[in-house]
Amino acid sequence: MPATEVARKDVSPRRLQWLTATVNDVIDETPRTRTLVLDVPEWPGHRAGQHVDVRLTGDDGYQAQRSYSIASAPEDTRLMLTVERIEDGEVSPYLAGDVQAGDQFELRGPIGGYFVWTAALGGPLFLVAGGSGVVPLMAMLRHRAVARSNAQTVLLYSSRTQEDIIYRAQLDELAATGDGLKVVHTLTREKPAGWTGGTRRIDRAMLSEFGFPLSTKPHMFICGPTPLVESAARALSALGHEPARIKTERFGPTGG
């Protein structure tokens, strides 16, 4: 979809409707995360980084609502959400566990015009992810690939263990195309044999090593658990980056 068409839709006053989403396919990404591939007639389109609200209705009429980042690129034919199953969660065990093709729920969106990257914005692009915070950043990387952007891009991605890395194979593929994307992994709870990535939490030294020089004025997006987002944002700001170019989306206390 051309960039200008998406921008017009975002600005025009339009009430956000609840739309019916039908699960077309379910992809197990890691032991705790799953991607739902959805058919949503009337989906108005989105920009990478935005999210949707999902609403479930039980046969007793009980409703629950949660927000999920969109994992798919704006150009993808189907909408995709990647859901992490949270211990004692009410909705995520259902979406990341019980749901199967043919099931339905409601969603509305796209929501949030702040945490958004389009290829037209260019680079350099520094993406910092903690756990399931990688989801909206993956939408950005998928969009970047479809748009054939050569913007210098780094994804610095923290996971607990190797098996918790979401989209690992796809990230390897995207990084191998040689179009200017580098993916750096770090693990916080494991030091597997043969692992060549980082083995500690994201800190100022790592952000300095893998981020871009101040003079290049990179676009920076940080997403994940609140503690990771806050410390990374503070560190990037302390390194001298303009706070206005550091965009954050906090997921709350869990994950990472």
Partner 1 sequence: MSVDHGIGDTSLALDGNAAAGLMRELFAFDITTARLTCDGCGTVSEVATARVYGGTMGAILRCAHCDLVVIRLAKTPAGYFLDMQGARQVFVAR
Partner 2 sequence: MPDTQDILMSEPPISRGFRRRQQPTDVSARVPPGQHLTRDFPVLSAGPTPDTKLSEWTFALEDGASPLAEWTWEQFNALPQTEVKVDIHCVTTWSKLDTNWRGVTIDTLLEAAGLSEAPQDFAMIHCDGDYTTNVPVEDLVEGKAMVATHYEGRPLAPEHGGPARLLVPHLYFWKSAKWARSLQFIAQDEPGFWEQLGYHMYGDPWTEQRYAGD
Residues that bind partner 1 (CB under 8 A): 10-11, 13-16, 51, 53, 66-69, 82-84, 86, 88-92, 108-109, 111-115, 132-133, 135-136, 225-227, 247-255
CA-wise closest residue to 36 among 90, 92, 75, 86: 92
Binding mask 12-31 for partner 2 (x = CB under 8 A): ---x--x-x-----------
Residue with tokens 């700001």: 237
Is position 63 an interface residue for partner 2 (rule: CB under 8 A)?
yes
Residue number, 29 or 106, with CB nearest to partner 2: 106
Q: From the list partner 1, partner 2, none, which binds 62 (C-beta under 5 to 8 Å, kind-based)?
A: partner 2
Helix spans in the chain (H): 3-11, 92-93, 134-146, 168-176, 204-210, 226-238
- The CA R_g of the chain, rounded to the nearest whole Å, is 18
The first and second tokens of residue 196, run together, are 């060549």
Q: Residue from 90, 163, 172, 230 that binds partner 2 (CB under 8 A)?
A: 90
**Cβ–Cβ < 8 Å for 255, 224:** yes
Residue number, 98 or 194, with CB nearest to partner 2: 98
Torsion of CA 132, 252, 38, 54, to 10 degrees: 170
Please report, as ranges, the residues that interact with partner 2 according to CB under 8 A: 15, 18, 20, 55-60, 62-64, 88, 90, 94, 98-99, 103-106
